[in-house]
Chains A and B, each alone.
Chain A
Amino acid sequence: DAGVIQSPRHEVTEMGQEVTLRCKPISGHDYLFWYRQTMMRGLELLIYFNNNVPIDDSGMPEDRFSAKMPNASFSTLKIQPSEPRDSAVYFCASSVAGAPNEQFFGPGTRLTVL
């Protein structure tokens, strides 16, 4: 298996622009997680899905952030409009149901908002 795939690996955009990050989980995995990593705040869980259904989005910072999972093999995290403080590395991770629910991470997308 190729592991969790994220695209793009790097994204540079200007403030106010829409940004879409993409994730393909490992085939057969039931859970998908979106994280944001910054120096100041560490690794933060933004939202996670179980069987394509959003379960907990309490970590989504504000309405500018939205996430979808239209099918078992694809998810997007969208920021509209983007702001400089959104600059971070965004990780997608997936796991299969059942203990111990080990999460497999993608390589991350480094987002820079100018």
Chain B
Amino acid sequence: AQTVTQSQPEMSVQEAETVTLSCTYDTSENNYYLFWYKQPPSRQMILVIRQEAYKQQNATENRFSVNFQKAAKSFSLKISDSQLGDTAMYFCAFLTIRDDKIIFGKGTRLHILP
């Protein structure tokens, strides 16, 4: 069975700093997708970034980038120049191409401090 593990329940960083959120997963599949979702205090789940496993290049979306290490089954999220609006719960998620269900991690609560 596929699992997603986020080992950091909570983190705090100062505004403008860079922060990295960790995520590891376990699967025997070779083709899959990885996602980072953000859930701010408004509760709305928002897709931040996604990575296709067959792509070696790490995905980047403005200040958000990932470090995808397929052999290590690691998928960390880096937020550069963090802003107060980045304060949220962040969920790492996994989806195989053979399945329809996304597997979510337990989440990391990130606080950006002024």
Contact = CB atoms under 8 A, between A and B. Distances in A.
Interface size class of A (residues with CB under 8 A): 20 to 34
A93 interface: yes
Interface residues of B, number: 21
Contact of A101 (B33, B45, B46, B105): B33
B100 A108 contact: no
Interface in A63-107: 89, 91, 93, 99-105, 107
Interface in B84-110: 91, 95, 97, 100-102, 104-107
A102 B104 contact: no
Instruction: Name A's interface SS.
Output: strand
Given A100-B33, A100-B50, A102-B35, A48 B100 contact: yes
A7 to B, nearest CB: 14
With most chain B CB atoms within 10 A of its CB, the pick from A31, A91, A102, A104 is A102
5 contacts: A42-B106, A100-B50, A102-B50, A107-B42, A107-B44
Interface of B: 33, 35, 37, 42-47, 50, 52, 91, 95, 97, 100-102, 104-107
